[in-house]
Amino acid sequence: MAKLFKSKTIRSGGNAKTIKGDKMGEYETAIMYLAPAAQSLLGNVCPMAVTAGCEMGCLSKAGRAGMFSSIVEARIAKTQRYFRDRAQFMADLVKDVAAFVRYCERKGIKPAVRLNGTSDIQWEVAHPCYRDGERFGSIFEAFPEVQFYDYTKIYKRVSRKLPANYTLTLSYSEANRAYADEIKKAATWSRVNVAVVFRSKAVRDSYMATTFEGVEVLDGDETDMRFLDPKGHTHVIGLYAKGPAKKDTSGFVID
């Protein structure tokens, strides 16, 4: 088994979709997993969770995290470090991303990082950091050689001028009609892609054969590397429900 990257803040190889992408040989993806929503009891890292109805079907409850309490406890501890001392947390993150860059260089591949594996933090604002003594406005500016990407339910984020090495994919839900409408509007004028979770693989594939509300649907489960998705006009990135999301009835999962 190939050796994977692991650190205090980010790790590679823990996500089935990123592993598929990593096997393509060009990139390796490291993800940060925090305790979602208000699970840490110190703050909320998913401000739209209730509005979008995604808390019940959260992927943090799927896979190994849904089976082992030690993983949940570790994520809670990490998130509490983020809230208690953000400056130190960012210093740890810079150290770990730098180590991941070196790790990828040794393997002859490109580094990709997803900071919001189970969170929706606006890393592009109010998260300055230092690299080699130089201050940067964000982790993205500090590491131009790294491709960063995330999914987000905070639709106002796509109105910002984001760094060239940071790609966002909007996340859809019909749990709240006003929210769904805002996502559609944001996608229309920004031309950003939108991830939609379907009830099953069969349901997703049926929309891929037609469209979802007139928009072409692409297979979002083939790989997690959203920064490689087609750009220029909006596409639906079709995912199928996993873990507790299979039983979701909030409107977050689409039938």
Give the model confidence (pLDDT) of 149-208 as tens digits: 999 999 999 999 999 999 999 999 999 999 999 999 999 999 999 999 999 999 999 999
Give the model confidence (pLDDT) of 119-143 as tens digits: 999 999 999 999 999 999 999 999 9
Residue 211 has pLDDT above 80, yes or no: yes
Of 117, 195, 96, 205, residue with least CA distance to 153: 195
Residue 92 has pLDDT above 90, yes or no: yes
DSSP 24-63: TSSEEEEE-----TTTTSS--S-TTHHHHT-STT-GGGSG
Of 171, 167, 162, residue with least CA distance to 113: 167
The pTM (predicted TM-score) of the whole model is: 0.91
Give the mean model confidence (pLDDT) for residues 26-48: 93
Give the model confidence (pLDDT) of 71-84 as tens digits: 899 999 999 999 99
Q: CA-CA distance, 82 to 34, in Å (whole number)?
A: 9
Confidence class of residue 245 from pLDDT cuts 50, 70 and 90?
Answer: confident
Q: Are residues 27 and 21 in contact, defined by beta-carbon separation less than 8 angstroms?
A: yes
Q: What is the pLDDT of residue 99?
A: 98
End-to-end CA gap in the chain: 38
Q: What is the pLDDT of residue 253?
A: 93
Q: What is the pLDDT of residue 1?
A: 44
Q: What is the pLDDT of residue 187?
A: 96
Q: At what angle do helices 86-107 and 69-84 cross, to 10 degrees?
A: 120
High-pLDDT (> 70) share of the chain, %: 89
